[in-house]
Chains A and B, each alone.
Chain A
């Protein structure tokens, strides 16, 4: 009897294992958080060095049209105009999303509302498979199919914003479609039944009830696709032409933040002005990915309030 009493007041083997396990799993989680902090810290210090150490004017970085970090202008300021890349990145992202959205919604509605049998059996598994196709493969297709097609149709080299847009459109289409389909699926069945029972046609039901109820989910899908497009490096770099010029039209060679980064890091010396300038571009990328994240959260919160 007394033995049990003492045992109850001692630390048992189970308690020891619990403390150990908690510590182990907490360390693992902390490690991930540490990695996130480290990424932000490293990229931010490197990216801000351009402005604080090399004293480049922040505004001329954002609005300058010439990117040639080796050369200085009349007033001794290096030519760090990131505007061409920023414009390039946004243009490609927005265009790709604009094209992909109607296709994604159309396909998702088709496979959910119009032909659910074929949708669930064929289209959905295929789109989900295509989500996993590596981006270099999209780049390769862009290079061997899209660029020649653009060249033959519009003349020029074929490299440029248009090719980049087409490649990213194809790349984000499966992602946006399958996320949109999930959003439609989460609309309760009785919404549709109530609408149809009131005498609405299928199109009216889809347009006025289903799509409306699924709007937050669809917006999330589109922003998610945009975030992927904005951050994509290699597939874009392969087809965009890589000329750090403000795009004159959709078929002239241009560049994006990611494409300049991909090409430049290997060709500059660590710690040099040219190298720091590239890290500033990486910082812009990082901040933009935060913005996309924030937007998705805001949409989610609004959707939850309904």
Chain B
């Protein structure tokens, strides 16, 4: 299998045609350009509902660029062509209200970025901006979000303390709680544990496995073990292309593409 003398990279792209797979999101022929430079080409990926899909690949492979395009965080930064299908709508079109869309496709970033506000205000801020002012309703949302992010018991007595006083791992979980407080369908996570220590990383992974009961999760990670542990599907990105996309257990045990094998066994990147 480890035939290193392949000339052109073979591609193996998983597609869901069977009806039992309910899709949450799909991209068709997605290209991303930074100025003249094409950072991502021909990305056709489909994401199954209530599953975790991991995007792996070396730095510069286009995986983060791809993820950030999914809820149009690249608007104004890069040019994105192609379709992103969500609920039968192409959300990469200017007919779509981008702010409304991001309430359904949330994002958690590499570095924890809580607002310089209290824990409570961090979670309720976006809701109050959208006119939710009922105290009881807000309280409930704060509790469920923090419970889902597995940090309610730790912070329930200090909800009005500054979020900046939390540890890095707690801050990141607060960011997850903040993202799910607006009740999105899909959660995009961009290397959410890369700035955290191993204990905090393990906790985040546990949290993700619980969250997939209610959310479709797409996670970028450079940590192979993490991708193997949490993901149902895995896409391997290489030099701006998706080289292989399959069930995670297949990718990590019997990758079809040589470069994928090299990457996951640590031969490069």
Closest chain-A Cβ to B95's Cβ sits at a distance in Å of 6
Q: Which chain B residues in 85-134 approach chain A with CB under 8 Å?
A: 87-89, 91, 95-101, 104, 129-131
**A14–B87 touching, CB < 8 Å:** no
Residue in A9, A10, A11 whose Cβ sees the most chain B Cβ within 10 Å? A9
How many of chain A's residues touch chain B, expressed as a range?
10 to 19
* Given A1-B87, A13-B130, residue A8 in contact with residue B101 (CB < 8 A): yes
A9 CA to B98 CA, complexed, in Å: 9
A254 CA to B101 CA, complexed, in Å: 71
Q: Which chain A residues in 2-25 approach chain B with CB under 8 Å?
A: 4-5, 7-15, 18
The residues of A that contact B89 with a CB separation of less than 8 Å are 5, 8-9
**B88–A8 touching, CB < 8 Å:** no
The residues of A that contact B87 with a CB separation of less than 8 Å are 1, 4-5, 8
The residues of A that contact B88 with a CB separation of less than 8 Å are 5
Summarize A's interface: helix, strand, loop or mixed: helix
**B97–A11 touching, CB < 8 Å:** yes
**A4–B97 touching, CB < 8 Å:** no
A9 CA to B90 CA, complexed, in Å: 10
Size of interface on B: residues with Cβ below 8 Å to A: 15
**B99–A14 touching, CB < 8 Å:** yes
Residue of A nearest to B130 (CB): A13
The residues of B that contact A5 with a CB separation of less than 8 Å are 87-89
The residues of B that contact A8 with a CB separation of less than 8 Å are 87, 89, 91, 96-97, 100-101, 104
A280 CA to B246 CA, complexed, in Å: 78
**B100–A18 touching, CB < 8 Å:** no
Closest chain-B Cβ to A192's Cβ sits at a distance in Å of 34
**B97–A15 touching, CB < 8 Å:** yes
The residues of B that contact A18 with a CB separation of less than 8 Å are 99
**A12–B99 touching, CB < 8 Å:** yes
**B100–A7 touching, CB < 8 Å:** yes
A14 CA to B100 CA, complexed, in Å: 8
A1 CA to B129 CA, complexed, in Å: 23
Closest chain-B Cβ to A149's Cβ sits at a distance in Å of 55
**A9–B96 touching, CB < 8 Å:** yes
A9 CA to B96 CA, complexed, in Å: 5
The residues of B that contact A11 with a CB separation of less than 8 Å are 97
The residues of A that contact B101 with a CB separation of less than 8 Å are 8
Closest chain-B Cβ to A14's Cβ sits at a distance in Å of 3
The residues of A that contact B130 with a CB separation of less than 8 Å are 13
The residues of B that contact A4 with a CB separation of less than 8 Å are 87, 104
Closest chain-A Cβ to B43's Cβ sits at a distance in Å of 22
A8 CA to B184 CA, complexed, in Å: 13
The residues of B that contact A10 with a CB separation of less than 8 Å are 97, 100
**B97–A9 touching, CB < 8 Å:** yes
The residues of B that contact A13 with a CB separation of less than 8 Å are 130-131
Closest chain-B Cβ to A210's Cβ sits at a distance in Å of 37
**A9–B99 touching, CB < 8 Å:** no
A12 CA to B89 CA, complexed, in Å: 17
A14 CA to B89 CA, complexed, in Å: 20
Closest chain-A Cβ to B229's Cβ sits at a distance in Å of 32
Per-position contact with B for A210-225: 1 when CB-CB < 8 Å, else 0?
0000000000000000
Residue in A4, A7, A11 whose Cβ sees the most chain B Cβ within 10 Å? A4
A216 CA to B3 CA, complexed, in Å: 59
Q: Which chain B residues in 51-108 approach chain A with CB under 8 Å?
A: 87-89, 91, 95-101, 104
Closest chain-B Cβ to A16's Cβ sits at a distance in Å of 10
A247 CA to B209 CA, complexed, in Å: 86
Closest chain-B Cβ to A223's Cβ sits at a distance in Å of 35
The residues of A that contact B96 with a CB separation of less than 8 Å are 8-9
Closest chain-B Cβ to A22's Cβ sits at a distance in Å of 13
Per-position contact with A for B1-42: 1 when CB-CB < 8 Å, else 0?
000000000000000000000000000000000000000000
Residue of A nearest to B126 (CB): A14
Closest chain-B Cβ to A6's Cβ sits at a distance in Å of 10
Closest chain-B Cβ to A20's Cβ sits at a distance in Å of 13
The residues of A that contact B97 with a CB separation of less than 8 Å are 7-12, 14-15
Residue of A nearest to B87 (CB): A5
Other than A8-B87, A8-B96, A15-B100, give 19 A-B pairs with Cβ distance below 8 A: A1-B87, A4-B87, A4-B104, A5-B87, A5-B88, A8-B89, A8-B91, A9-B89, A9-B96, A9-B97, A10-B100, A11-B97, A12-B97, A12-B99, A12-B100, A13-B130, A14-B99, A15-B97, A15-B99
What are some 9 contacts across the A-B interface (CB < 8 A)?
Answer: A5-B88, A5-B89, A8-B104, A10-B97, A11-B97, A13-B130, A15-B99, A15-B100, A18-B99
- Give B residues with C-beta under 8 Å from A: 87-89, 91, 95-101, 104, 129-131
- Give A residues with C-beta under 8 Å from B: 1, 4-5, 7-15, 18
Q: Report, nearest first, the 4 A-B pairs whose CB atoms are least far apart.
A: A14-B99, A12-B100, A12-B97, A12-B99
